[in-house]
């Protein structure tokens, strides 16, 4: 019996080329705006008004009702922006507000708008928000502070320049529209009254299909059982049902061949063959079911095709194969998903959607789930691919390992992603191995099982994974070991969001909880504006941030870290290597101590401009290898 696991095969594809966004930016009161295109840049800091970390010309917070002017054109702060820029894309952060208020960012030569870009309350942690703003005729912006005093940080991530034609270059190709090309022929399939009663027979009747002689097969409501024979798609032949759950194509298809090489176990498949050089087809408005009939069961399989296959408003399921149940499998195919529900269940390994070596494409509105696999379950798997995904819900539950999303040697762009893993011995919301994706607006959750020595991770970064995360929330809980973000041998950049871990007292044994755990031989994590929290009931090791790296320099900037429960520490260094952890402009609190270094002198923690808190009888700073440039903190007597 064949067992197909998440094998590491092939060479990773490159990152999707950065696109260019076009929009209109108003530059003066009453102006109709200038059509402009975004030029992405490496993030640079234009303004930081905090005296200890000063960037730019202003070294004082904004007072109540104050309006501050900032130049953007030319070189200002750490940024160099050309005079052709009409606007900038920024992350604006409010630090240390003394009253409830808001900031308004606007072009330097227009009347102040009555809207806000960023809201804050007293004593809140550093609060970031994305702001796109036009520039004045002289290349500047204004920032208004409503109440109290507040320091301001402005980081530029891109600038806009005029578009000669009013629009930027074409972006990533979206999914094909319905009936984008009018078919020359329409064939109907129905339980009665159609041209055919069987979909396979209808496809077999088509022999003259081509790019200039397209076909459409329309299927009436009903359930169409193809027995044990799958449906082979044809080039330039689209298949249209009467609606999901209204038109159902089902098969008890199965075999022993790996889907990396063969799609014969699929209810519906698209592939190249000796007589068909490629398959260009769209399947829409129906449900596809594989009821299982062997070791491997596939719902829809696209592979070894130079054409373009699209699924639009389709529900796919694969269940009951003894080894592998994959609802949608793309084997090096240009497969596009739009409004697709994919469900894999049962066997040893279950997967909702699997992209293997697929060329760059863009899919969106995907709900992928996997459950019931005794060994592994994964909502979405991406292996050696750079397919872009947006508006994705990926869930996995049960088994030895559960992955909401699993990426191996993959570098896609992922936007608006919810990845959840539950009920496994090892549950990981997002698991990266050798991958460097870009994630925007992600919710990553791992929830363990109440039985056994379980572990859960919001995200798990392994083997040189260097993702860029913006506004990501990582949560782990209900396990002996719970880690919001586990980072080993990797160097993520994380701006904005939360990392939370809660260990459950499952059977009276000890627990471990960490908001962020940095491990491995090296790594240089950069975390900015993230709220980190760890909690356990009976844990012997509870830390907001645990640094166990052997080497490298990691930074925490503008973060808020809290740890609660027995033996809890805000930040702890637990390595004998020459690793360094640099903490600035942050708030750190722990039940036993705020910052602890259990090794030295090779490992060091450097703290500046930060608030450290610990309860009476606890230690603010433990060990002399913690360097603190702030005043008013007394080192514990345990320091050497």
Q: pTM for the full model?
A: 0.71
Q: What is the CATH number of the domain that holds 53?
A: 2.60.120.340
Residue 415 CB-half CA count within 13 A: 6
Buried b / exposed e along 452-489 (16+ C-beta atoms within 10 A)? eebbbbbbbbbebbbbbbbbbbbbbbbbbbbbbbbbbb
The reply to whether 246 and 381 lie within a common domain is yes
- Clarify whether residues 332 and 363 are in a common domain: yes
Q: What is the pLDDT of residue 87?
A: 93
Closest CA to 220 of 273, 170, 161, 286: 286
In the predicted model, residues of the chain with pLDDT beneath 50 are 1-32, 166, 168, 178-181, 273-277, 616-640
Of 110, 129, 162, which marks where a domain is finished? 162
195 belongs to a structural domain: yes
At 253-283, the pLDDT tens digits run: 988 988 988 889 999 998 754 334 456 889 9
Domain count, the chain: 2
Tell whether 143 and 234 lie within a shared domain.
no
The pLDDT, as a whole number, for residue 37 is 83
Cα(143)–Cα(200) distance, integer angstroms = 65
State whether 362 and 225 are in the same domain: yes
Q: Which DSSP helix (H) or strand (E) runs through 200?
A: helix 199-204
**Is 220 in the same domain as 95?**
no
By residue range, what is the domain housing residue 267? Answer: 183-385
Predicted pLDDT at 278: 52
Q: What is the pLDDT of residue 386?
A: 87
pLDDT for 11-24, tens place per residue? 222 222 223 334 44
Q: Is residue 467 domain-resident?
A: no
The answer as to whether 501 is a domain residue is: no
The token duo for 73 is 């054109």
For residues 250 and 267, what is the distance between their CA atoms, to the nearest angstrom? Answer: 7
Q: What's the CA gap between 441 and 418, in Å, rounded?
A: 9
């Amino acid at each position: 019996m064949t067992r197909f696991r998440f094998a590491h095969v092939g060479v990773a594809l490159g990152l999707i080329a950065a696109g260019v966004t076009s929009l209109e930016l108003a530059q003066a009161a009453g102006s109709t705006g200038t059509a402009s295109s975004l030029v992405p840049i490496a993030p640079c800091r234009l303004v930081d008004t905090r005296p200890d970390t000063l960037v730019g010309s202003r070294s004082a917070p904004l007072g109540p009702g104050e309006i501050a002017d900032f130049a953007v054109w030319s070189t200002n702060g750490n940024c160099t922006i050309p005079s052709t820029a009409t606007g900038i894309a920024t992350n604006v952060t409010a630090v240390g507000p003394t009253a409830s208020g808001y900031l308004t960012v606007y072009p330097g030569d227009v009347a102040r708008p009555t809207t806000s870009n960023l809201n804050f309350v007293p004593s809140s942690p550093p609060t970031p928000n994305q702001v796109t703003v036009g520039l004045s005729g002289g290349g500047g912006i204004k920032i208004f502070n409503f109440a109290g005093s507040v320091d301001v940080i402005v980081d530029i991530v891109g600038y806009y320049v005029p578009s000669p034609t009013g629009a930027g270059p074409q972006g990533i190709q979206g999914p094909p529209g319905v009936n984008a090309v009018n078919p020359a022929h329409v064939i109907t399939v129905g339980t009665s009254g159609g041209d055919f009663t069987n979909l396979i027979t209808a496809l077999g009747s088509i022999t003259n299909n081509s790019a200039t002689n397209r076909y459409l097969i329309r299927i009436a409501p009903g359930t169409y059982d193809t027995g044990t024979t799958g449906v082979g798609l044809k080039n330039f032949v689209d298949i249209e049902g009467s609606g999901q759950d209204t038109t159902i194509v089902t098969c008890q298809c199965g075999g022993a061949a790996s889907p990396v090489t063969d799609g014969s176990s699929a209810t519906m498949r698209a592939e190249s063959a000796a007589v068909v050089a490629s398959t260009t087809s769209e399947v829409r408005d129906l449900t596809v079911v594989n009821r299982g009939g062997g070791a491997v069961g596939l719902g829809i399989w696209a592979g070894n095709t130079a054409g373009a296959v699209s699924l639009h408003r389709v529900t796919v399921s694969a269940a009951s194969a003894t080894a592998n149940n994959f609802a949608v499998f793309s084997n090096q195919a240009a497969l596009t998903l739009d409004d697709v529900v994919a469900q894999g269940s049962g066997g040893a390994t279950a997967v909702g959607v699997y992209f293997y070596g697929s060329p760059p494409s863009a899919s969106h509105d995907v709900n992928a789930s996997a459950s019931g696999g005794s060994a592994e379950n994964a909502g979405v798997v991406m292996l050696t691919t750079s397919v872009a995904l947006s508006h994705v819900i990926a869930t996995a539950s049960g088994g030895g390992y559960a992955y909401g999303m699993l990426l191996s040697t993959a570098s896609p762009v992922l936007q608006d992603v919810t990845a959840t893993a539950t009920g496994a011995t090892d549950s990981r919301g997002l698991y990266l191995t050798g991958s460097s994706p870009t994630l925007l607006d992600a919710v990553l959750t791992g929830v363990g099982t109440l039985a056994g020595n379980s572990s859960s991770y919001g995200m798990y970064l392994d083997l040189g994974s260097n993702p860029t995360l913006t506004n990501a929330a990582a949560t782990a809980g209900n396990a002996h070991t719970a880690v919001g973000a586990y980072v080993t041998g990797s160097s993520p950049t994380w701006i904005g969001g939360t990392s939370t871990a809660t260990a459950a007292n499952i059977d009276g044994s000890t627990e471990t909880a960490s908001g962020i755990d940095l491990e491995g031989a090296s790594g240089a994590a950069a975390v900015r504006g993230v709220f980190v929290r760890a909690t356990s009931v009976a844990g012997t090791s509870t830390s907001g941030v645990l640094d166990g790296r052997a080497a490298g320099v990691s930074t925490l900037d503008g973060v808020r870290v809290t740890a609660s429960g027995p033996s809890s520490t805000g930040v702890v260094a637990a390595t004998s290597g020459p690793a360094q952890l640099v903490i600035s402009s942050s708030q750190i609190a722990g039940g036993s101590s705020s910052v602890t270094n259990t090794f030295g002198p090779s490992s060091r923690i450097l703290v500046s401009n930060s608030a450290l808190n610990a309860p009476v009888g606890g230690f603010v700073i433990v060990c002399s290898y913690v360097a603190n440039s702030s005043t008013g903190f007394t080192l514990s007597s345990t320091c050497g």
